[in-house]
Amino acid sequence: MVDRRGRAEDDGRVTRGFSAERLLALLAVAFVVLAAVLAGNVRPPLGGDAWNDGAAGAWLWIAAGLVPVVGAGVVVAARRTVGRDGRLVIGMAAAVTAATVVGEAMHAADPPIDRGLLGALGVGLDVTAVVLAVGAVGTLLRPRLARQVLPVAVAAGLATTTACSIAWDPTEVPILLPAVAPLQVPSLSFFGSAGETVLLALALGPLVVAGLLGWLLLGATLDERRRLRWLALSLVTGFGLIAVVQLVRLLGLVDVGDGFLTALPRAVAWTAMAIGATTTIVQPQLGDAAIAVRRVAVGVGLVSILGAAGGLAWFAADATTAHIVPGAPAAAAVLTIAALLLPLRDRLERAADRWLSGEIGSDARLIDTFGTAAEHAGPSEVLELLVATARRTLRLRWARASTAGAVPLTATAGVGADEAQSPTARFALTESGEQVGLLECGPKRGGPLNAHDRQLLGALGREAALRLRTVSQADELRARLRQIEQQAAEIAASRARIVEAQDEERRRLERDLHDGVQQDLASLIGKLRLAINQIAMAPDDAATTIGGAQDDARRTLADVRAIAQGIHPAILDDQGIVRAIGARAKSLPIEVSVEADAELATRRFDRAIEGAAYFVTSEALANIVKHAEATAVTVHVAVDSGRLVIRVADNGRGLADDTVRGRGMTNIADRAAALGGRVTVAANAEGGTTVVAELPVAPTVAA
């Protein structure tokens, strides 16, 4: 099962009632209350600072560090499903508050239990808290890694506790805390140089976190990077607060002690880490932190860099020209800040956009990247790429794109794109004056669309329209090519069948002439030779022989005429297609009605057209006589839209479902196709069959 962050939910379990996670969160709350009670016991060592080592620092740590951290743990524990990353946050909150309580108890003059045992327990909690904090942040993108963090943290705490109880003895007075110590009131401060060494080792925790996040970000997708924006916002805000305090102190605007500047970053770092991690876990898409991160990061960068640059200019002018020109340091600082403000802001904004949105700079390069990505994509992929690019680039809540046409395609991105919501802007996808689609945009996070945004969306739309038109034309060309290839194959097959039919016809004529007419003529020659021999000897017999030969000649002439009629009937050349069909119909043993307009009875067509029309009709009539068992046939001849149309319909038994077209019908269909016409055969609803031949009035020979 996958949750809305795209992560597997098999690393969490449903919490009901007082689960272990909620019980641990309640313990963390109780530890905060107890820490507030014991905060007054914290006393700074000799030479120490009240903010860094004393009660003031303890109160700052509780208010600015522990309370937000415990609040984050309570929020995670209140969820119905708590994953491993959430358990780390809860465990971190409980461990750091417990470590603070034990550390404060170590400051008491008479602690409730043995100081050695109490100190060893506190040292283990210090180590456990830091390891859990590192693991909670470092595994945000890889929650499965959180499974190993908890046992590692517990094992490290137990090992440190054991080693401390065996090898180290606590002192009565704590040492001065190092500036980089990760905890405000650690028990480690009571173990001399050994405790200080461990504190410095724990101070490497932020570096480990940075390394883990950097390693994860190297292979992170844009969605995974977006998930860390809340953590980035919290950390940038915390560092920005620290930078502002340091700048104020450097400028001398407020007198702030070194101890406060050490204690504040410590508390802010824990707060920023806990809030960022908790928001990432609980609700990573809460309003999309990109705008806030961008603004805070740019603001912090401006304050830090401009403050440093202005301070350097102030000190440089103060050391060189202040005794000559009064007010020179202030003027130098102002001029330096004014000169750097705009270019620095632009560079910081571009850097923030590249990190947050993964964009690559200028609009032209964005359009070029979009065009390259869409170059080999289909229509659906182009639309998906368009809405994703538009939403990501301008931080739109949703975007929707669709194509025009009988079967439109639609692609959406963002929350609300599939709902019936009115878009804040529409952009027609046009190419060469024709609209091929539509891009609709939802509200922009951070304000309305400005002129630059609309210009960029228009450019994206034009590029998408060009790609859609290119894809459409390519599809049309491929379809036309397939059609041409199919027609070419049909023409080649038709020509082959025509050649085969012509060869077959020549062989039939050869057989008819050889077996019929040739034999009749040979017999006639023999009779005439016999008559010549009989003239001198028996004139009467010669006359009889000649009479028989005359009858044979008449029969042979009839056979020759029949053969010629099969090749091309004379009546077709003499009187036209309508009367030739009528003559053919009268020779059949069934009733055939020929219908045609009066003008067609004398109208002549091209010889090839008339021949094709006659033989189509003859073949259809022959098939009816052979197979249809019909009693009546109607032949209708007409000219419609520049085509000669002959319809032959019978009342016979019709076509069976598995009827296969015979050689004769195939030959006449090929003959019609060679002239640019066609022949269709269909069964009548009331019974019988209809053959329709359509031939162009002017023949078109297929190329």
Residues 658 and 644 in one domain: yes
Residues 561 and 599 in one domain: no
Give the number of other CB atoms < 10 A from CB of residue 639: 15
Higher pLDDT, 569 or 333: 333
* Biggest distance spanned by C-alpha atoms of the chain: 174
Residues 557 and 636 in one domain: no
**Rg, C-alpha atoms of the chain:** 50
Contacts of 650 (CB under 8 A, 6+ apart): 624, 628, 630, 632, 633, 634, 688, 689, 690
Residues 303, 340: contact at Cβ < 8 Å?
A: no
Q: Flag whether the pTM goes above 0.85.
A: no
If you average pLDDT over residues 121-130, what whole number do you get?
85
At residue 505 the predicted structure's pLDDT band, cuts being 50, 70 and 90, is: low
Q: Measured between alpha carbons, how far is 192 from 175 in angstroms, rounded to an integer?
A: 6
Residues 27 and 146 in one domain: yes
Q: Measured between alpha carbons, how far is 33 from 67 in angstroms, rounded to an integer?
A: 10
Higher pLDDT, 220 or 122: 122
The domain boundary, picked from 542, 566, 590, lies at 566
Q: Is residue 506 part of a domain?
A: yes
Q: At residue 701, does pLDDT exceed 50?
A: no
Q: Measured between alpha carbons, how far is 139 from 137 in angstroms, rounded to an integer?
A: 6
Contacts of 135 (CB under 8 A, 6+ apart): 88, 145, 146, 149, 150, 152, 153
Residues 182, 203: contact at Cβ < 8 Å?
A: yes
Structural tokens at position 434: 């024709």
Q: Which domain holds residue 173?
A: 9-221
If you average pLDDT over residues 13-29, what whole number do you get?
71
| pLDDT value of residue 251 | 61
Residues 31, 98: contact at Cβ < 8 Å?
A: yes
Q: Is residue 118 part of a domain?
A: yes
At residue 637 the predicted structure's pLDDT band, cuts being 50, 70 and 90, is: very high
Q: Is residue 672 part of a domain?
A: yes
| pLDDT value of residue 2 | 36
Q: At residue 12, does pLDDT exceed 50?
A: no
What's the one-letter identity of residue 389? T
Within the chain, how many helices (H) and strands (E) appear?
23, 11
Side-chain-side CA neighbours of 186 within 13 Å: the count stands at: 32
| pLDDT value of residue 152 | 87
| pLDDT value of residue 648 | 92
If you average pLDDT over residues 238-257, what whole number do you get?
66
Q: At residue 6, does pLDDT exceed 50?
A: no
Residues 663 and 618 in one domain: yes
**Number of folded domains in the chain?**
3
Distances 592 to 587, 612, 617 between C-alpha atoms, Å: 10, 20, 12
The domain boundary, picked from 533, 566, 599, lies at 566
Higher pLDDT, 243 or 628: 628
Contacts of 253 (CB under 8 A, 6+ apart): none
Q: Measured between alpha carbons, how far is 623 from 629 in angstroms, rounded to an integer?
A: 10
- Report the CATH number at residue 626: 3.30.565.10
Residues 68 and 162 in one domain: yes
Closest by CA to 284, choosing from 570, 651, 6, is 6
Q: Is residue 283 part of a domain?
A: no
What is the phi/psi pair of residue 683, to 5°?
Answer: -85, 145
Q: How would you classify residue 47: left for phi > 0, otherwise alpha for psi between -120 and 50, otherwise beta?
A: left
Most confident of 48-57, 357-366, 631-640: 631-640
Residues 578 and 558 in one domain: no
| pLDDT value of residue 249 | 64
Share of the chain above pLDDT 70, in %: 76
Q: Give per-residue pLDDT as tens, 158-195.
A: 888 888 888 888 888 787 777 667 777 777 778 877 77
Residues 21, 15: contact at Cβ < 8 Å?
A: yes
| pLDDT value of residue 646 | 92
Residues 235, 18: contact at Cβ < 8 Å?
A: no
Q: At residue 382, does pLDDT exceed 80?
A: yes
| pLDDT value of residue 450 | 77
At residue 647 the predicted structure's pLDDT band, cuts being 50, 70 and 90, is: very high
Return the ∠ at Cα 576 (arms to 573 and 581), rounded to 5°. Answer: 110
Distances 333 to 167, 297, 313, 347, 410 between C-alpha atoms, Å: 56, 23, 5, 21, 56
Cα 472 off chain centre by: 19
At residue 636 the predicted structure's pLDDT band, cuts being 50, 70 and 90, is: very high
Residues 588 and 521 in one domain: no
Contacts of 266 (CB under 8 A, 6+ apart): 61, 65, 181, 182, 183, 184
In 168-191, which ranges are continuous DSSP H helix?
Answer: none
Share of the chain above pLDDT 90, in %: 3
Q: Is residue 261 part of a domain?
A: no
Contacts of 653 (CB under 8 A, 6+ apart): 628, 629, 630, 687, 688
Q: At residue 565, does pLDDT exceed 80?
A: no
Residues 221, 6: contact at Cβ < 8 Å?
A: no
The domain boundary, picked from 566, 601, 635, lies at 566
| pLDDT value of residue 3 | 41
What's the one-letter identity of residue 538? A
Higher pLDDT, 230 or 115: 115
Cα 341 off chain centre by: 40
At residue 78 the predicted structure's pLDDT band, cuts being 50, 70 and 90, is: confident
If you average pLDDT over residues 406-425, what whole number do you get?
73
| pLDDT value of residue 8 | 36
Q: Measured between alpha carbons, how far is 653 from 621 in angstroms, rounded to an integer?
A: 14
What is residue 285's three-state secondary structure? coil
Higher pLDDT, 675 or 638: 638
Q: Is residue 583 part of a domain?
A: yes
| pLDDT value of residue 442 | 85
Q: At residue 148, does pLDDT exceed 70?
A: yes
If you average pLDDT over residues 217-225, what whole number do you get?
61
Q: Give per-residue pLDDT as tens, 446-489.
A: 667 777 778 888 888 888 888 888 888 888 888 888 888 887 87
| Beta-bridge partner residues of 449 | none
Return the ∠ at Cα 157 (arms to 155 and 159), rounded to 5°. Answer: 65
Residues 394, 453: contact at Cβ < 8 Å?
A: yes
Structural tokens at position 693: 């031949």
Residues 616 and 544 in one domain: no
Q: How would you classify residue 661: left for phi > 0, otherwise alpha for psi between -120 and 50, otherwise beta?
A: beta
Q: At residue 290, does pLDDT exceed 60?
A: no
Contacts of 71 (CB under 8 A, 6+ apart): none
Q: Is the dihedral of CA 446, 450, 454, 455 positive or negative?
A: negative
Q: Is residue 682 part of a domain?
A: yes
CB-count burial class (<10 Å; 0-12, 13-18, 19+) for 146 = buried
- Report the CATH number at residue 500: 1.20.5.1930
What is the DSSP code string of 602-622?
Answer: T----HHHHHHHHHHHHHHHH
Higher pLDDT, 310 or 322: 310
